[in-house]
Chain A
Amino acid sequence: MNLTLRIWRQRSPQDKGRMVTYQVSDVSPDMSFLEMLDVLNERLILEGEEPVAFDHDCREGICGMCSMVINGRPHGPQKLTTTCQLHMRHFKDGDTIDIEPWRARAFPVIKDLVVNRSAFDKIIQAGGYISAPTGSAPDAHSTPVPKPDADAAFEAAECIACGACVAACPNGSGMLFTAAKITHLGLLPQGQPERETRVLDMVAAHDDAGFGGCTNIGECTASCPKGIPLTTIGRLNGDFIKAARKRS
């Protein structure tokens, strides 16, 4: 396959940045999207140019590092798939592919396609923890959890914090990420002690980071490589209302 790539290049956080066009030839349909970029980068290095910076780590869809908007969709056109798991066979020979970083005030660009996602860490620090003593794993049946709760908590815990929800949201909201954590922890017995402070603190940290508000439009869920359901946001809202009423 021969492709035309238009990639966001930005030298530093201060640089204005621009889309730059590259041609790549002989792309195998079996390559992953990141491997295709590796091929481009190898050539750029040989030519003495600066390679395209992008985040990646596991390349197996579990770490959440890979983060790029491909043709206007976070993680590209394939549903429930991270960029690292996206294969070139989903594109056609001769295609032009636009590649941009996540766009959000809370996720400033560091370089090219790499953004700083520490705003998510701040949200986690504000309340994404439990204070039960940790140590060796407890007996599986020492604290019974109803099966539906365990399933829903696990579904929410699948969030890999990649930030695609923010990148997709027309409001630049981080609510799906925050709600996934609220749901995951709030459904389990170990998460109960901080349930109320957690939601208030995490929403405050979310707002402080400069994310927008949710309008329940669902673009986040549609783009989420793990399919975190929109219902988690209802859970966050419910917890928030309960906690806020108790406090006032």
Chain B
Amino acid sequence: MHWTNQSPIRTVGQMATATAPRVKAPMLRTTVGLKVFMAVTGILLVLFLIAHMLGNLKIFVGPTAFNHYAHWLRAIGTPLLPNTWYLWIQRTVLTVAVIGHIWSAAVLARRARAARPVRYAHRQPVQGSYAGRTMRWGGVIILLFVIYHILDLTTGNLNPVGDKQHPYANVVADFAPHRWYVTIWYVLAILAIGFHLRHGIFSALRTLGQQSQQWQRRSRAFALGFAIVLCAGYLSVPFAVLTGLVR
């Protein structure tokens, strides 16, 4: 009989299909698993940013339309869902995504730090893009802004008007010329998001398996174009208030 037919020993050929992976640790805790998680939560947040930007642009239609849009947000899903339920579901999902995104970023940042215990005496600046180098600190700035932004225009605590029934008035009051520091902070935060996404979207696509040279070029270009359009959309609102286009 041929040696491969009856041997109780695993032949090399069988091993090929039979070896179980030695990995027992959960996939999510691997560096690649954490990155996939960061990419998926990041994309979820990007989808929200697109919807939010389109909603903001309603301000150019006029106060009635903008206020009506804000009220409609509370009514999405009715009568299937009670009033504001949809909004709360979305808020819950986004909060979980933000926390998950930051959690994976923090775990990976700590591993990266631990991976180089002795620093170089002579270090050249990283050749990658500015956006790529500032993902972590940029993310922190974005987080601070998101917290401020909720206290300003969602709860109204930090808004000079803070009238939940009339968000249009809140926005106009927010970017009034004498509150220039608010506008500057808003602009810087939006630019931080733009930089974060310029690298983040390319990185997310790569993390999810983008692997050809041609699509690498395209995905870089797409990330840059997307970041620019998003920034322009968000920045148009304070610009319009400052120039009196919206008042």
> What does the 1/0 interface line of A193-219 toward B look like (CB < 8 Å)?
110110011011011001111111111
Q: Which of B111, B122, B126 interacts with A219 by CB under 8 Å?
A: B126
State the CA gap A170–B206 with chains docked (Å): 18
Which residues of A are in contact with B by a Cβ distance under 8 Å? Answer: 6, 8, 17, 19, 69, 71-73, 98, 100, 103-106, 126, 131-133, 170-173, 175, 193-194, 196-197, 200-201, 203-204, 206-207, 210-219, 222, 229-238, 240-241, 243-244, 247-248
Point out the residues of chain B lying under 8 angstroms from A236, CB to CB: 32
Beta-carbon contact of A213 and B121 below 8 Å: no
Q: A72-B124, A234-B211, A237-B207 are in contact. Are A203 and B30 (CB under 8 A)?
A: yes
Q: A131-B15, A234-B211, A237-B208 are in contact. Are A197 and B127 (CB under 8 A)?
A: no
User: Does residue B241 face the partner (Cβ distance < 8 Å to A)?
Assistant: no
State the CA gap A229–B212 with chains docked (Å): 10
Q: How far is the CB of B115 from chain A (nearest CB, A)?
A: 3
Point out the residues of chain B lying under 8 angstroms from A213, CB to CB: 31-32, 34-35, 108, 111-112
| Range for the number of chain B residues in contact with chain A | 35 or more
Beta-carbon contact of B35 and A248 below 8 Å: no
Beta-carbon contact of B16 and A193 below 8 Å: yes
User: Does residue B6 face the partner (Cβ distance < 8 Å to A)?
Assistant: no
**Segment of B17-25, B144-152, B156-164 in the binding face:** B17-25
State the CA gap A56–B32 with chains docked (Å): 33
State the CA gap A50–B239 with chains docked (Å): 67
**Segment of B50-58, B69-77, B128-136 in the binding face:** B128-136
State the CA gap A247–B30 with chains docked (Å): 15
Beta-carbon contact of B115 and A104 below 8 Å: yes
Residue of A whose beta carbon sits closest to that of B35: A213
User: Does residue B202 face the partner (Cβ distance < 8 Å to A)?
Assistant: yes
**Residue from B32, B111, B133, B202 whose CB has the most chain A CB atoms within 10 Å:** B32
Q: A203-B30, A212-B112 are in contact. Are A231 and B213 (CB under 8 A)?
A: yes
Q: A131-B16, A237-B206 are in contact. Are A212 and B108 (CB under 8 A)?
A: yes
Q: Which of A170, A200, A212 interacts with B126 by CB under 8 Å?
A: A170
Q: A106-B115, A200-B23, A217-B132 are in contact. Are A237 and B32 (CB under 8 A)?
A: yes
Point out the residues of chain B lying under 8 angstroms from A100, CB to CB: 120-122
Q: How far is the CB of B63 from chain A (nearest CB, A)?
A: 44
Beta-carbon contact of A247 and B203 below 8 Å: no
Q: A201-B22, A212-B114 are in contact. Are A241 and B36 (CB under 8 A)?
A: yes
What are some 17 contacts across the A-B interface (CB < 8 A)? Answer: A6-B122, A100-B122, A126-B22, A133-B13, A170-B126, A173-B115, A200-B27, A210-B115, A212-B115, A213-B32, A213-B35, A214-B32, A219-B128, A232-B211, A236-B32, A237-B32, A238-B208
State the CA gap A230–B205 with chains docked (Å): 13
Point out the residues of chain A lying under 8 angstroms from B111, CB to CB: 171, 212-213
State the CA gap A103–B123 with chains docked (Å): 11
Q: Which of B25, B36, B132 interacts with A216 by CB under 8 Å?
A: B132
User: Does residue B33 face the partner (Cβ distance < 8 Å to A)?
Assistant: yes
State the CA gap A207–B115 with chains docked (Å): 10
A-B CB proximity, top 4 nearest? A238-B209, A172-B115, A213-B31, A234-B211
User: Does residue B116 face the partner (Cβ distance < 8 Å to A)?
Assistant: yes
